[in-house]
Amino acid sequence: MKVDILILQPIVALAAGIIILLMPSLLNLIVAVHLIVVGITGLWPSLRRRDALCLAYSKM
């Protein structure tokens, strides 16, 4: 499996957001929410593409 930087960056942002949520303060909470949103929106296109590929293979 090939790891692309466009996929790695949102994963790191999502992980950092979850870790920051474990030790919350107001600033940490704001940063965590931002990182989680960036992570999800960054991964969304590749997740949709993967669902489309799985659906196409299941119809064969």
Residue appearing with tokens 């999800």: 40
Residue 13 above 60 pLDDT? yes
Question: 11 or 1: whose pLDDT is higher?
Answer: 11
pLDDT > 70: percent of the chain: 68
Rg (CA), the chain: 15
Residue closest to 18 by CA, chosen among 8, 5, 31: 31
Question: 32 or 51: whose pLDDT is higher?
Answer: 32
pTM to 2 decimal places: 0.48
CA distances from 19 to 7, 15, 53 (A): 19, 6, 32
